[in-house]
Chains A and B, each alone.
Chain A
Amino acid sequence: PADTFHNLQELRHSASLATKVFIQRDYSDSTICKFQTKFPAELDSRIERSLFEETVKTLNCYYGEAEKIGGQSYLEGCLACATAYIIFLCMETRYEKILKKISMYIQEQNEKIYAPRGLLLTDPIERGMRVVSFANTWDVFLSVGTTLKENVS
Chain B
Amino acid sequence: MSAVMITRKVTRKWEKLPGKNTFCCDGRVMMGRQKGVFYLTLFLIVGTCSLFFAFECPYLAVHLSPAIPVFAVLLFVFVMAMLLRTSFSDPGVLPRALPEEANFIEMEIEAANGNVMAGQRPPPRIKNVQINNQIVKLKYCYTCKIFRPPRASHCSICDNCVDRFDHHCPWVGNCVGKRNYRYFYLFTLSLSLLTIYIFAFNIVHVVLRSVDSGFVNTIKETPGTVLEVLVCFFTLWSVVGLTGFHTYLISLNQTTNEDIKGSWSGKNRVQNPYSHKSIIKNCCEVLCSPTYPSVLDRRGVMLEDLSSPTPSDASAASTHQSSNPVSQTTKSSAPLIPNEHTPDEAKPGIGSGTQKSTSSPKEEKPPSPTSPNAVAPAVIKESSH
Contact = CB atoms under 8 A, between A and B. Distances in A.
Given A95-B291, A140-B334, A30 B131 contact: yes
- Contact residues of A: prevailing secondary structure: helix
Interface in B143-178: 146, 149-151, 164
A4 interface: yes
Contacts of A141: 334
B182 to A, nearest CB: 8
B236 interface: no
B242 interface: no
Nearest to B95: A128
Contact of B131 (A27, A86, A122): A27
A69 B324 contact: no
Contact of A73 (B78, B164, B290): B290
A15 to B, nearest CB: 10
Contacts of B77: 84
A43 interface: no
A78 B82 CA distance: 14
The contact size tier of chain A is 35 or more
Contacts of A106: 324, 326
B252 interface: no
B292 interface: yes
Interface in B71-125: 77-78, 81-82, 85, 94-95, 97-98, 100-101, 103-104
Nearest to A115: B326
A30 B282 CA distance: 13
A97 B378 CA distance: 36
Contact of B288 (A16, A66, A73, A85): A73
B136 A27 contact: yes
Contacts of B129: 27-28
B289 interface: yes
Interface in A111-153: 111, 115, 120, 122-123, 125-131, 133, 137, 140-141, 144, 147-148, 151-152
Given A5-B340, A85-B183, A126 B322 contact: yes
A88 interface: yes
Given A31-B164, A130-B149, A123 B289 contact: no
Given A16-B100, A84-B81, A151-B366, A111 B285 contact: no
A55 interface: no
B334 A31 contact: no
B368 interface: yes
B94 A128 contact: yes
A110 interface: yes
Given A1-B366, A130-B94, 14 more contacts: A4-B364, A4-B368, A27-B136, A27-B138, A28-B131, A30-B132, A66-B290, A74-B288, A107-B324, A115-B330, A122-B324, A128-B94, A130-B146, A133-B101
- The 9 A-B pairs with the shortest beta carbon distances in the complex, nearest first, are A84-B81, A4-B366, A110-B326, A128-B95, A77-B288, A128-B295, A27-B129, A73-B290, A1-B366
Interface of A: 1, 4-5, 8-9, 12, 16-17, 20, 22, 25, 27-31, 66-69, 73-74, 76-78, 80-81, 84-86, 88, 93-96, 99, 103, 106-107, 110-111, 115, 120, 122-123, 125-131, 133, 137, 140-141, 144, 147-148, 151-152
